[in-house]
Structure formats: structure tokens, C-alpha cells
Amino acid sequence: MKARVHITLKDGVLDPQGKAIHNALGALGFGGVNDVRQGKYIELDLAAADPEAARAEVDAMCSKLLANTVIENYAIELVE
Amino acid sequence: MQASVIVFPGSNCDRDVKVALAESAGREPTMVWHGDSELPKSDLIVLPGGFAYGDYLRCGAIAAHSPIMREVVRKAEGGTPVLAICNGFQVAIESGLLPGALISNANLKYICKDVHLRVENVHTCFTAGYDEDEVIRIPIAHHDGNYVADDDTVAELEDENRIVFRYSGPDGTVDDEANPNGSRGNIAGIVNKAGNVLGMMPHPERLSDPVHGGTDGRPIFDTLAGSLG
């Protein structure tokens, strides 16, 4: 089973990289972008077969290491 | 004072701080490898600057889970002074010793230059050698030194006088112009609630000997050596 983890900055936390991307898109003529937020995508190949157990384990991984919950949110998606 | 300097793979200011500590204490600190799980007798623990684990995932995130850090956190909670400089500050935050977070500099640049700091709290075991509101010059060298924290955390830091250094102009003015990296409230260094853990982005060890071109960082090491014997 695979887990896809998306880590994004919480609302209100300044995202200098997102801002730079936004500016660069504007310079390329893409004027229709209201805002850009950059995040991380982590793919985990898991030994666990039980989705519930897998989700609980990935959730613990996120809060302990993969995300800094002071500034980041995370979302977990399990793929068979 | 018997200090221990924690060495992570990617630390690069460990030997600089070793020299500064030896100069002030008259005794060589112990260099402790991150993979060790026991600390030797330590009156002071230093988390040095550098790029522990290549800054992978987030600066300090992986180092914070090194075997030695369990022991560092335990000692810190027991009251042992911990001086966390630059990458060490990031490690201290990631290991929960200090609140908030350090994100990319607002201008996305690695900044390496001397800055001025206003010393806001001289009632710590690190800063008693400075005068209240003294302005000192210390170098910074980082890409991720932009201090962020929520309103409640900042209010608590302010109320408890735990903001130790703020980026300022040479005259002590704290404003946006003097803020090199976008840090909230120009915060450059903070202490924990108990006051025994100091995290700071600037590098006092890099201006601690006249051959460096200045000694504004030296009082930190002298004060620690003086009070810790």
C-alpha cells in the first residue's frame, strides 16, 4: 500500500517561495493567478495491509517528523 | 566549565565554537557525535551552526531526532544551559526546546553579513555580560532564519521577556530596514520559559577574538564560563 502525503503551509504563514513563483508567473504573462502556495509531496511505500492501521501510522509519522505542525498542515491519501 | 558541543553530520561551526569555548573557559569542550546516546558530564551543551543532515526535509528536523538529542532534551529540561546557534537554533526548535519555527528568509537569499542586535534581556546566564539595550555586531549566515510564531506565542515571549536579541540598526532602532530575514518582530534570539536554553540565528563565535575583527560575541562565552566555573 502506498501513502501520499501532501504538506502545505498553514494559512497566514508567509510563503516566500510561493510569492517568488507568483511573481515569476506574472512576469511570464500569467496574470490570472491570485495566490501561490508551495508545499511538499512525500510518497511512502508501506508494509501495512490494513488501511486504518496504515493511516494511523502515517499520521504519527507526519506529526512526529514529516510535517512541522507549528507552520504546516498535512493531508494523507492511501492508494491500494 | 565543561562544555559539550554536539556534532551532527553537516555541522560546520562546531570547531569555531570549540575554540571560543576553550578561550573563555580555559578548557577544551568535549565534542559529542550525534549518534552517541550518552552525554559526558556537561555544564553547558552547545548545538552548533551548520547544515545538519543537509537541511533535508526541514532545517534541523532530522537532527532533532538523533539519538543524542533525547539526552540533550532531558538535560535541558533538568536545567543544563543549552546554547543553540543558527542551525542549532533550528534543531532546538524542531526538538521542541523552543517555540515557533524558522522558515526561508523573506528574500529567499542566503545572507552572510554582519548585523546589529539589540540586547533586550541581560538577565540570562548567556547575556549577563551585556548592558541593557546594548547594540552589538554579530554575523549571520543562513537561508532559513525567518522566525515565525503565532500571536499567542509572540505575546507570551514578549510578556515573559524571553526575546533576548532583536535585529536593529547600529543605533538600536528596531524596524523593517534593520530586519535582514523577515523575522517576526525582528526576533534574532529567544530563551525557553526556564531561561536555560538560548536559540539565536547570529554567530557569536565568529566575532569572539580580535583576529576576527571584533569581540562582540565573546561576552556570551565569558559569562557562561564565569558562572559555570
SS3 content of chain A, % helix, strand, coil (to 5): 35, 30, 40
Contacts of B103 in chain A (CB under 8 A): 13-14, 16, 71
Task: Give the range of the structural domain holding residue B137, as residue numbers without chain letter.
Answer: 3-228
For chain A, the domains span: 2-79
**Local confidence band at B159 (pLDDT 50, 70, 90 cut-offs):** very high
CA angle B154, B62, A10 (to 5 degrees): 40
pLDDT, position B229: 80
Q: Is the pLDDT of residue B182 over 90?
A: yes
Q: Would you say B116 and B169 are in contact if contact means Cβ atoms under 8 Å apart?
A: yes
Contacts of B104 in chain A (CB under 8 A): 16-17
Contacts of A69 in chain B (CB under 8 A): none
Contacts of A60 (CB under 8 A, 6+ apart): none
> What is the distance between the alpha carbons of residues B84 and B14, in angstroms, rounded to a whole number?
11
- Mean pLDDT, to the nearest integer, of B97-113? 96
pLDDT, position B184: 97
- ipTM of the modeled complex: 0.84
**Local confidence band at B225 (pLDDT 50, 70, 90 cut-offs):** very high
Give A11-61 pLDDT, tens digit per residue.
Answer: 989 898 999 999 999 999 999 999 999 999 999 999 988 999 999 999 999
> Would an 8 Å CB–CB cutoff place A17 in contact with chain B?
yes
Active-site residue flag, B86: yes
pLDDT, position A80: 83
Active-site residue flag, B160: no
Domain A2-79 has CATH 3.30.1280.10: yes
pLDDT, position A65: 96
Share of chain B above pLDDT 70, in %: 100
Q: For residue B35, give the CATH number of its domain.
A: 3.40.50.880
Number of domains in chain B: 1
Sheet containing strand A72-79, strands side by side: A40-45, A2-9, A72-79
Share of chain B above pLDDT 90, in %: 100
pLDDT, position A14: 86
> Under an 8 A CB cutoff, do A68 and B182 touch?
no
CA A1 to chain B, closest CA, distance in angstroms equals 23
Catalytically annotated residue among B86, B120, B125, B142? B86
